[in-house]
Amino acid sequence: MTDPSDIWIPLVDEPIGSIVEQLQAEHPEIDRLVSSPHRILAFRTFAYIRIGILLGRLLVDHDVPDYDGTETWVDALLREERHRDAVVRELRAVAEEIAADPRYAGDEPMGPDEDARSRFREFARKQLG
């Protein structure tokens, strides 16, 4: 049997994984919706699939310039704001569906909550003057 980490690592390195990661970083509200380990795993799994399908549809429906070695067809599509917005909407929809799933209701979020962050900032201000 293959170790799950052997399968997971290549998925993260794929182009769709990079797109999801970049857009997720640009839209922190998505992270807040999927902040537990199980939610993150479910989010990434479904986001990769749905973003791949969406990008494929966009490629079929919209012309992209011939490849000249400077950018991929995905980059060409995402350069247009309407396409980028469509991908962000799909990511947000996936995150909202995962967040609303009752199977993840008891999951603890990863990292500190906002109260813990506030306490740390206050502590740091006192310590650093």
Report in angstroms the alpha-carbon separations of 19 from 15, 23, 52, 87, 126.
6, 6, 10, 9, 39
Please, which contacts does 105-108 make with residues 24 or more away whose CB atoms are closer than 8 Å?
A: 107/36, 107/37, 107/38, 107/39, 108/36
Q: What is the pLDDT of residues 24-79, one digit of tens each?
A: 989 989 988 888 888 888 999 999 999 999 999 999 999 888 878 788 888 889 99
